[in-house]
Amino acid sequence: MTTLDANDVFADRTAATLAHLQETGQLKRLQTIEGPMGPMVRLRGHGDVVCLCSNNYLGLANHPEVVEAGLEGLRRYGAGTASVRFICGTFDCHERLENRIAEFHGVEAAYTFTSCWNANEAIFATLCEPGDLIISDELNHASIIDGIRLATVIKKGLHKGVYKHNDLENLREKLAAARANPEVSGQIWVVTDGVFSMEGDIADLPALRGVCDEFDAKLVVDDSHGTGVMGATGRGTHEHWGMDGSRIDLFTSTLGKALGGGAGGYMAGSKAMIELMIQRGRPTLFSNALPATVACSADKAIEILMNEPDRVARLRANTAAAREGIRTVGFEVLESPTAICPIIVHDTAKAIAMSARLLELGVFVIGFGYPVVPEGEARLRCQISAAHEDAHIATFIEKLEVLKGEFA
Ligand SMILES: Cc1ncc(COP(=O)(O)O)c(C=O)c1O
Best mutation site among 57, 143, 195 for ligand 1 pocket (most ligand atoms within 8 Å of CB):
143
> Residue 179 Cα, ligand 1 centroid: separation in angstroms?
31
Q: What is the rounded average pLDDT for all residues in the chain?
A: 95
**CA-CA-CA-CA dihedral for 80, 84, 88, 92, to nearest 10:** 60
Query: Does residue 193's CB lie within 6 angstroms of at least one atom of ligand 1?
Result: yes
Q: Give the model confidence (pLDDT) of 150-174 as tens digits.
A: 999 999 999 999 999 999 999 999 9
Query: What are the residue boundaries of the structural domains of the chain, listed by start?
Result: 25-54+309-406, 64-307
pLDDT tens readout for residues 336-366: 899 999 999 999 889 989 999 999 999 999 9
Name the architecture of domain 64-307: 3-Layer(aba) Sandwich (3.40)
Q: Cβ contacts of residue 356 below 8 Å, gap of 6+?
A: none
Ligand 1 atom with the smallest distance to the CA of 117 is: 11
Work out which ligand 1 atom sits closest to the CA atom of 254.
Answer: 10
Percent of the chain at pLDDT exceeding 70: 99
Q: Which fold has domain 25-54+309-406?
A: Aspartate Aminotransferase, domain 1 (3.90.1150)
Note the pLDDT of residue 4. Answer: 57
pLDDT in tens, 95-112: 999 999 999 999 999 999
Residue 2 scores a pLDDT above 70: no
Model confidence pLDDT, tens digit, residues 293-326: 999 999 999 999 999 999 999 999 999 999 999 9
pTM across the whole model: 0.95
| Set 63, 225, 240, 392: catalytic member | 225
Q: Do domains 25-54+309-406 and 64-307 have the same CATH topology?
A: no
Ligand 1 pocket, residue 245 CB under 6 Å: no
Measured CA to CA in angstroms, residue 235 lies from 193, 221, 257, 279 at distances of: 15, 13, 14, 28
Is the beta carbon of 141 within 6 A of some atom in ligand 1?
Answer: yes
CA trace torsion 334, 325, 238, 228 (10° rounding):
120
